[in-house]
Structure 1
């Protein structure tokens, strides 16, 4: 083992300052390796950064992380040679993490919309970099650069089961605070879901499928400023909580301002102020956080025993000072690059093979019920259409058998690398709540069957003013008829199964039907089944 370690990480040393600042020629394998290590999580997260306005700030996070690393280089501690046994274990762990790139790339190609995988891939890059720093310079230096490395996690989107309810709760509070301001100003207003209802109309419909855009960006900025100014742990926590408060306050002010403009100048005037108000609150958030950071730096500092003892323990047991950085050989980074390249090449072959041998998916669609009484198509707003980016679909409303109002949405995304993410952006628990409906319960799911089609349907009960609304929601990926019984969901096993079967770029079809009126769930479901049975067309597979 010692001989292997000597070959892979030889004890050839150069001065620390020279190794970092001037010896690019000696360190180019490490530079290339870091580009590969961090290129994989950036590749995985780039889709969410591009498609979601909430996480568009992710593109600047790698640059900010490099800046924080640069700041840490100015006062990095002296390198120290760790014990050989520790270095052996670290080298073995590093090799195992490098090998894990292969299965993770395959799993990611099959599941580009799986947000928890982002934490795994980002964590892998962080740990690999951290171990590499430890092998090159010891515990002291590795500990010194931990926070800049962990900073990258702020760019990883929250898992949807956490993201959706948090955003829904905060948007409700945001609307409530804005309404209190309007009432204080003598403007009649009321809240319906996440909307502000005024005598002149309703404000906020176009943002029904979004969150509080500046919240995640403000959290990122709070963590960045806390590290840039080297605040203590308590002050960083205060700054982080202050960032949340600033984001909520500025969004409430923005909502109040737009609602006041709508009340006094009409809804048409809101469009002219919408974007400028958004940019203004981003600038206000930055200024408020920067001033808070400067104020916190001027407070008297206090050394906490827990963090002080931990730092002293790390420094005491980190080995002997060497004043030298150990130059890594190119073998590590050649192995790393080879594993990543093989992972991508194998994925391309594996999924192309799966597509070549796969049966054609069942072709089906939900047609417009033009013969139903009172049927009329509805125009989707441009902002919602740009968010969903569906390839085909329609939305319309009509009168049901009992005189109740029924509205349906049918959307289709063609097969493509972004189709799963785009389809998952529309969820009735978030979008309908944003349109002013109050969710009361999620009822038992059921399955609609017709010929070879098996459509899993989720059922929700909402409240729209004094009316009960039953909402039926189904999202199904394109698949052959013999796999209709298979249920691909968000479980780990199901996600791994997709990779094992070579399934990727699945097209998506979404059906959502809302039934207004004080009907029982049974009667509303019968109305939906009647509509689906009459207007779902299925093309037989050859």
Structure 2
């Protein structure tokens, strides 16, 4: 065998492994921003390393490869691999403008997983698909859950926790009343900022259950039981956490309770994982699940895996890597010229009385990821009471991830009922500035308020029809190169008007007095 042939043969395994590394690695890089900013998915930073460890354990006792030898198999696998590499270009462009669009992430991840299984089949046949499939499936636990499923958890599981906590607190002799996911005490409320962030450590506990099931090689039935147990443990320990914080708040006040807020959250995860570990120990010791490890190969392969061609792997890897500069060039060419964009600021002092600036709760910043935020309360001479939130984002990705929270999602979670969704209010200011507000009427047993919600970015593409971020709007954002850098959001809540028309009239008057238009936008990054 010539030196050239020997070197080429030695590169075959490396190029094949590099292919999977590039596919999964680029996906993880896309997820890294949310992992580092969203507490619910911060565990994702550890998933790649845990998954690689599971793969290493599987590699140590891999079965003998029995690859398919039909000519069509290799061509089919290469065809799917090539299609995925080409698909990376539109996927990356769309994702850059829609970091919060989890349909894109899940479509990309499932396509990568499917291609991974095809590659495994080519390497070692169906035995390798079964043997190595689970470590790669584990990687999927790092992907944020579909928004509809996550919202169901926010609305229903937290409501269950709040209901159980109120019952327990009342049984202990304290006054407590539930309003949505909020617990009202005589001296304050508990878990206001949690209403939009979900059940603490729920997703990470599910990840832990899947990891432990694979680590101990339990059969499918026991793995399923572990996942169900993990979900139950997360809800139970969230109940314990909420009950503890409620009792602390009732006895010592909200300030003391806030000091225990984060430590109690960490204890939910620790307690859940320790309990899962004990359950795994019980399964191994008392139930003796059948051994699932195949026999060791005992050294080098008797039959080598059927590696995919080096030239094909190198071509695909280059295609995938080049999708990154392609995306950069796309947005550099099609994005807005920041020197000719408008921006605007708020002058809160015009036409207001008893103006008060308040600190925004840290958990709200953790959820919305804004760079600048203001919370202002005041009243006007007609005795209307106003609350306004004004946010700005410099980072496009932060704006995209924070923009999913809106009155339709967040206010019902804290006990408000949406009674009316009125026609949008369109305010036209100087220099062709146009702000479009979604208009709502909400109520609870004691109050009725009018809520006006506006999202705006320098590109000027109207948000008024997409509080739910419709798919065609998302594709249009990618087409025009709108990454939301420099995005601003204004939410105004008015108590006192007797009708929607009166509330809108008051808002227009306030906007006329308070908005200052600037000729150049602030620079932002994606």
TM above 0.5: yes
Which of residues 120, 137, 141 in structure 2 aligns to 1:150? 137
**Greater mean alpha carbon deviation, residues 175-184 or residues 328-337:** 328-337
CA distance in structure 2 between the aligned counterparts of 1:386 and 1:97, rounded to whole angstroms: 34
Shift of 1:358: 7.1
CA distance in structure 2 between the aligned counterparts of 1:157 and 1:185, rounded to whole angstroms: 38
Which of residues 336, 352, 360 in structure 1 aligns to 2:340? 360
Change (3 A) 1:439 1:151: farther
Change (3 A) 1:488 1:342: farther
Q: Could you give the per-residue CA deviations for residues 296-354 of structure 1, whole angstroms, max 9, x where no partner exists?
A: 44437699xxxxxxxxxxxxxxxxx9833123332233112211232122222222222
Change (3 A) 1:369 1:173: farther
What is the aligned length? 503
CA distance in structure 1 between the aligned counterparts of 2:25 and 2:329, rounded to whole angstroms: 21
**Greater mean alpha carbon deviation, residues 499-508 or residues 97-106:** 499-508
Could you tell me which runs of 5 or more consecutive residues in structure 2 were left unpaired when the two chains were aligned: 292-300, 522-526
The answer to whether the 8 Å contact 1:80/1:322 transfers is no
**Greater mean alpha carbon deviation, residues 182-191 or residues 354-363:** 354-363
Q: Partner residue of 2:509?
A: 530
Shift of 1:246: 0.9
Q: Partner residue of 1:78?
A: 64
CA distance in structure 1 between the aligned counterparts of 2:464 and 2:161, rounded to whole angstroms: 41
Q: Partner residue of 1:495?
A: 474
Q: Partner residue of 1:299?
A: 287
Secondary structure of 1:326 counterpart: coil
Q: Partner residue of 1:87?
A: 74
Secondary structure of 1:145 counterpart: helix
Q: Partner residue of 2:415?
A: 437
Q: Could you give the per-residue CA deviations for residues 249-298 of structure 1, whole angstroms, max 9, x where no partner exists?
A: 10111111111122223333223322332222211101211222333444
Q: Partner residue of 1:242?
A: 229
CA distance in structure 2 between the aligned counterparts of 1:25 and 1:199, rounded to whole angstroms: 70
Secondary structure of 1:395 counterpart: strand
CA distance in structure 2 between the aligned counterparts of 1:257 and 1:117, rounded to whole angstroms: 39
Per the normalisation by structure 2, the TM-score is: 0.86
Say whether 1:191 aligns with 2:171: no
Shift of 1:539: 4.1
Which of residues 494, 499, 505 in structure 2 aligns to 1:515? 494
Q: Partner residue of 1:349?
A: 329
Q: Could you give the per-residue CA deviations for residues 169-217 of structure 1, whole angstroms, max 9, x where no partner exists?
A: 2222212211211112112222233222222322223434422221111
Q: Partner residue of 2:296?
A: none
CA distance in structure 1 between the aligned counterparts of 2:346 and 2:34, rounded to whole angstroms: 29
CA distance in structure 1 between the aligned counterparts of 2:365 and 2:215, rounded to whole angstroms: 39
Q: Partner residue of 1:109?
A: 96
Change (3 A) 1:77 1:485: closer
Could you tell me which runs of 5 or more consecutive residues in structure 1 were left unpaired when the two chains were aligned: 1-9, 13-22, 304-320
The answer to whether the 8 Å contact 1:429/1:439 transfers is no
Secondary structure of 1:418 counterpart: helix
Change (3 A) 1:402 1:159: farther
Say whether 1:328 aligns with 2:314: no
Change (3 A) 1:165 1:424: farther
Change (3 A) 1:513 1:141: same
Moved beyond 6 Å, runs of 4+: 300-303, 485-489
Change (3 A) 1:467 1:491: closer
Per the normalisation by structure 1, the TM-score is: 0.83
Which of residues 213, 216, 223 in structure 1 aligns to 2:210? 223
RMSD: 3.2
CA distance in structure 2 between the aligned counterparts of 1:283 and 1:520, rounded to whole angstroms: 50
Q: Could you give the per-residue CA deviations for residues 415-442 of structure 1, whole angstroms, max 9, x where no partner exists?
A: x3423235315422444345x4323346
